[in-house]
Structure 1
Amino acid sequence: MRLIIEARLEGGETSETEATTVAVVERKDRSVADLGLTLAEGRALLAEVQSLLVSEQTAGWMESQLACDRCGSTLAHKDARSIVVRTVFGKVDVPSPRLWACSCAAKQGRPRRSVSPLCKAVHQRVTPELEYLQAKWAAHLPYRQATELLREVLPLDKGISFGSTRRR
């Protein structure tokens, strides 16, 4: 038996939606010993869906940041980098282009600098849900145990440390 899980994102400029294969689960026989998803399969599925969703959300948001707030002209592209955003369902590498500030800022006496809108918007690089879970579990357990339990249940792998749990 084979289960294929696909995702379709809608709501962009195009009306066509392309299916992306998120996971394929295979079972050799139909025994009840392999009922449902394993914890590893569930974590991998959640991590893949989260990666797909975060990437699309940030790409859509970045499109709205490509124009100057003051004059509306398009900002020049300086270079492209990526940042790591830690979520409840794993780490996600997100493209974070750096843009040159608009020349209208130089006319006002400010030096022309590069800006990274995504780095400013996600300056902690951790989602609020992950911060909440770390703080909640650390309030009831020692920091190391709270971190180990979060790693065991969620697809975090080495995405968090007990030091970050302690700080939150």
Structure 2
Amino acid sequence: MRISLQLVVQDDGGAPATVTEIAQFERDGLDVGSLGLHLEEAKSLLGRLQRTMVTAQVAEAVARTSVCPTCGAQLACKGHRHLVFRSAFGRLSIDSPRLYPCRQCQGDAPSFSPVANCLPKRVSPELQYLEVKFAALMSYGLTVNVLQEVLPLDPGSQLDPAPGHQGRSPAGSGAGNRRAAAGGGGGERPLARDPRAQSGPRGWH
């Protein structure tokens, strides 16, 4: 048996919906080791789903802010950098274009990064809550291990306020012939750029 999961994204601008396959599972037979999702599969699925959703949200936000709100002219792009955002479902490296404002309407206003402006904090409230909740119940080391057992966190990701660490990876489990392809591991991956935010004639200063 082959089971596929697809994510359909429909923006508010009326563009055709995009369909992305985020996971594919295969099962042979039925036993206690092959029934339903397994922990590693669920973690990989959540990580892939998170990356796909964030990519779509960032692209929509960049497209919306890449035009002058007054005259509608396309804004020139000064360059691209990446910012790291830590969530309960993975550590994300997000492409962050820096845009020049419209010189005709806004004069010599400084360049700006719409993604950085939308994300002044680089950690999700849910991850912060889990870190504080578990840290109140157990040691920092146990907190790291428990969260990495059940969430698609990077083994080397940092939990505030302690320094970086190397967590242990959960071992595979279950019987029967089962395979999953849900976008690979939970490592940090740069998210795709919005093709509408192309570099302008001026360089990075």
Q: Shorter-chain TM-score: what band?
A: 0.7 to 0.9
Take 1:58 and 1:30, find their aligned partners in 2: how far apart are those partners?
41
Which segments of 5 or more consecutive residues in structure 1 lack a partner in the other structure?
107-111
Rounded to whole Å, the distance in 1 between the matches of 2:141 and 2:107 is 48
Residues of 2 paired with 1:11 and 1:126: CA distance?
A: 25
Which structure dedicates a bigger proportion of its chain to helix?
Answer: 1
2:95 and 2:149 map into 1 onto residues whose CA distance is 28
SS of equivalent to 2:14: coil
TM-score of the aligned structures, taking structure 1 as reference length: 0.81
Q: What are the residue-to-residue correspondences of 1:1-168 with 2, within 5 Å?
A: 1-68=1-68, 74-103=74-103, 104-106=106-108, 113-158=110-155, 160-162=157-159, 164-166=160-162
RMSD: 2.4
Preserved contact between residue 143 and residue 165 of structure 1 (Cα < 8 Å): no
Structure 2: distance between partners of 1:139 and 1:123:
26
Distance 1:10 1:41, change over 3 A: same
Distance, in Å, in 1 between the alignment partners of 2:146 and 2:29 is 32
Aligned length: 161
- 1:33 partner letter: G
Percent sequence identity over aligned pairs = 35
The DSSP-based 3-state class of the residue aligned with 1:84 is strand
Deviations for 1:57-87, whole angstroms, at most 9, x for unmatched residues?
1111222222456877543211123322211
CA positional deviation for 1:145: 1.3
One-letter amino acid of the structure 1 residue matched with residue 94 of structure 2: V
TM-score by length of 2: 0.68
- Deviation (angstroms), 1:119: 1.6
* Equivalent-residue separation in structure 1 for 2:16 and 2:119 (angstroms): 30
Q: CA deviation at 1:45?
A: 0.6
- Structure 2 residues not aligned, in runs of 5+: 164-205
2:33 aligned counterpart, secondary structure: helix
Deviation, 1:123, is 2.8
Aligned to 1:33, the other structure's residue is in SS state coil
CA distance in 2, matches of 1:19, 1:39: 25
Q: Which of structure 1's runs of 4+ aligned residues deviate more than 3 A? A: 67-74
- Taking the aligned partners of 2:93 and 2:43, their CA distance within structure 1 comes to 17
d(CA) in 2 for partners of 1:98, 1:15: 25
CA distance in 1 between counterparts of 2:82 and 2:162 reads 27
